[in-house]
Amino acid sequence: MSLIECKNLSLGYDGHEIAKNLNLSVNSGDYLCIVGENGSGKTTFMKTLLGLNPLISGEIKFGDGLKRSEIGYLPQQTAVQRDFPASVFEIVISGFCGSMGLKPFYSKAQKAQAQINIEKMGISHIKDRCYRELSGGQQQRVLLARALCATKKLILLDEPVSGLDSNATAEMYSIVKRLNSEDNITVIMISHDISAAVSYATHILHIGASCFFGTKEDYIKNQNTTSLEVAENE
C-alpha cells in the first residue's frame, strides 16, 4: 500500500469548506510539491494530514507502517515563532516530544540522534546559540533538524524557503533533495516556487478552484495544454 492515500477529501474549519475533491497517493521515496494560491488550503491540508485539524469528509489512510506520530513537520513560520527564546539544541531535540509518551527526560540515544541531525544540517557551530538570534536560513535548518528527530520516513515542509535569499534557498533545496535521495525520506513540501517544484519534485498537487494531482511530467503537460487553450481563446 502507499504511504498515504487520500480519497475525496474535503478540508476546512468548523464545517466551512476550503478545499474539496482531493484525491492523491504518496509512495515511499516520493517528493511531492504542493502549489496553489494564498489561502487555497495548502497549510490546512498539511495540518489535516497531521491530525491537527479534523477532516470535513473523505478518508486518509496511512500504509507501510507509518504512524502519525512519526511524521516530521516544519511549520510555516510566523514572526512570533522566529522570536522563540530557546537554544538551537533545545529546539532540535524537542522534535522527539511527540514520541516520548509520559517520559519526562530525553534519552541518551535521543540526545545522540539530535546531535547527528544537527551535524547533518551543518549547524554544529551554532548549537548553543539562541534560536531568535539566527538568520532565517539558519533557523530553517534548525527546524529541519528538529523535524528529522520525529521521523525516518516522512517530512512535511510548509514553505521552507520563504524569506530566504537565493543562496540559502538553493542550500535548503539541496539539503531536502539529499534527504530524499540518500536517506530515502519521503518529502511533502508546500512551495510558491513553481520552477523549483517542477525541477525537484516527482509529483505535484495543485490545490485551488480546480485541483490537480499527478506526476511532474503530467503536470507540465497539463500546464502546456492549459496555456495553449488560453492562448487560442484570446
Ligand X SMILES: Nc1ncnc2c1ncn2[C@@H]1O[C@H](COP(=O)(O)OP(=O)(O)OP(=O)(O)O)[C@@H](O)[C@H]1O
Give contact residues for Mg ion (rule: CB under 5 A): 43, 76
Q: Establish if 18 lies at the interface with ligand X (CB under 6 A).
A: yes
Can you tell me whether residue 207 is helix, strand or coil? Answer: coil
The reply on whether position 98 binds ligand X by CB under 6 A is: no
Amino acid identity of residue 234, one-letter, is E
For residue 39, the partner it binds in ligand X, Mg ion, none, with Cβ less than 5 to 8 A by kind, is ligand X
Nearest to 70 by CA among 179, 187, 5, 150: 150
Q: Are 93 and 149 in contact, with CB atoms under 8 Å apart?
A: yes
6 vs 92, which CB is nearer to Mg ion?
Answer: 6
Q: Which residue in the block uniquely carries the three cell numbers 480546480? A: 210
What are the cell numbers at 218? 503530467
Would you count residue 162 as binding ligand X (CB under 6 A)? no
Q: Which of 4, 33, 35, 44 binds ligand X (CB under 6 A)?
A: 44
Q: Which stretch binds ligand X (CB under 6 A): 40-48, 94-102, 148-156, 176-184?
A: 40-48
Instruction: State the minimum distance, in angstroms, from the CB of residue 81 to ligand X.
Output: 14
With CB under 6 A as the rule, give the number of residues binding ligand X.
11
Cell 492562448 -> residue: 231
Among 30, 40, 148, 156, binds ligand X (CB under 6 A): 40
Say which entry of Mg ion, ligand X, none residue 13 contacts (CB below 5 to 8 A, set by partner kind).
ligand X
Residue 13 within binding range of ligand X, rule CB under 6 A:
yes
Per partner kind, with CB cut-offs from 5 to 8 A, the member of Mg ion, ligand X, none near residue 233 is: none
- Report the residue closest to Mg ion, judged by CB: 43
Q: Of these, 30, 35, 42, 123, which contacts ligand X (CB under 6 A)? A: 42
**Burial of 195 from C-beta contacts in 10 A (0-12 / 13-18 / 19+):** exposed
Residues 200 and 177: beta-carbon distance below 8 Å: yes
Interface with ligand X (CB under 6 A), residue from 36, 95, 98, 160: 36
CB-nearer residue toward ligand X: 48 or 138: 48
Q: Which of 164, 170, 202 is nearest to 24 (CA)?
A: 202
13/84 with CB nearer ligand X: 13
Beta bridge partners of 6: 24, 60
Q: Which long-range contacts (CB under 8 A, 24 or more apart) does 47-53 make?
A: 48/9, 48/11, 49/4, 49/156, 49/188, 50/156, 53/11, 53/13
Which residues bind to ligand X, rule: CB under 6 A? 13, 18, 36, 38-44, 76
